[in-house]
Amino acid sequence: MRRDGFVVLERLITPAHCDAIREETARLLKGAGRNAFEGFNTQRVYNVLTKTRLLDDLIDHPRVLALLDQLFEPNYLLSQAQLINIRPGEAAQALHYDDGFYKVPRPRPALGAATIWAIDAFTEDNGATAIVPRSHDWGQSPVPTPAQTIPCVMPAGSAVFFVGTLWHGGGGNHTNSNRLAFTAQYCAPWLRQQENFFLEVPRETVRILRPTLQSLIGYSIYPPFMGMVDSMHPKRVLDA
């Protein structure tokens, strides 16, 4: 991960778990992207924590947390999570790096990190995430070209983990089948998350999440007191 900016973790969840996610997702996937970046032939499901419990184990998978522990101070956060279904005919997404919206010049340590989970196997043709190995260390320039990418080919149930400074993009889907993926992005504990989980996830849902997930969505403190509620730990609101 430190050398290449990414690492592929093979077969972390079972084929049965992938099937269950695919089945559950079928009722959630609607419409298509609103712009070329979302993908006019790509379906996305946002706010997954209020819609299904089948992704919880992916978000706080111990292998993922072990890598995040190497990158960030304790109480790092989930920044956003979504399902991404790249449909036949979709063009390759523009290359980008995920923590680019924190306008801190490169080169710099990553401020975020991401997983992209292959719920369907990722192949060269079906839209496997295209990554630019070692680009996480690049400065403000250059901007990579598609010729510099490699496809993250991996079996279903695997995840690619990469740091927030790594250039990548969704691949084009040149097959007749969908490419279903799940992505979770994380950030350092002192940064603003992309999703506003406090408004998004009702308290009764937060109460049934396990403590790791509660902490990841923001029911945690960056010491000494960032995240406080009325001078107390934010988890106190769950007892109210």
Ligand X SMILES: O=C(O)CCC(=O)C(=O)O
Which residues would be at the binding site for ligand X (CB under 6 A)?
84, 93, 116, 129, 168-170, 181
Shortest spacing between CB 171 and ligand X, in angstroms: 6
Shortest spacing between CB 100 and ligand X, in angstroms: 10
Nearest to 81 by CA among 99, 100, 60, 59: 59
Nearest to 109 by CA among 125, 119, 97, 91: 97
In the complex with ligand X, the residue whose CB is nearer, 82 or 214, is 82
181-201 core/surface letters (b: 16 or more CB in 10 A; e: else): bbbbbbbbbebebbbebeeeb
In the complex with ligand X, the residue whose CB is nearer, 86 or 221, is 86
Shortest spacing between CB 172 and ligand X, in angstroms: 11
> Quick one: residue 66, left, alpha or beta (phi over 0 = left, psi -120 to 50 = alpha)?
alpha
Shortest spacing between CB 169 and ligand X, in angstroms: 6
Distances (CA, A) of 125 to 71, 135, 203: 32, 23, 42
In the complex with ligand X, the residue whose CB is nearer, 132 or 206, is 132
Q: Answer for the pair 187, 193: CB distance below 8 angstroms, yes or no.
A: yes
In the complex with ligand X, the residue whose CB is nearer, 113 or 116, is 116
Running DSSP on this structure, what letter comes out for residue 122? Answer: B
Shortest spacing between CB 8 and ligand X, in angstroms: 13
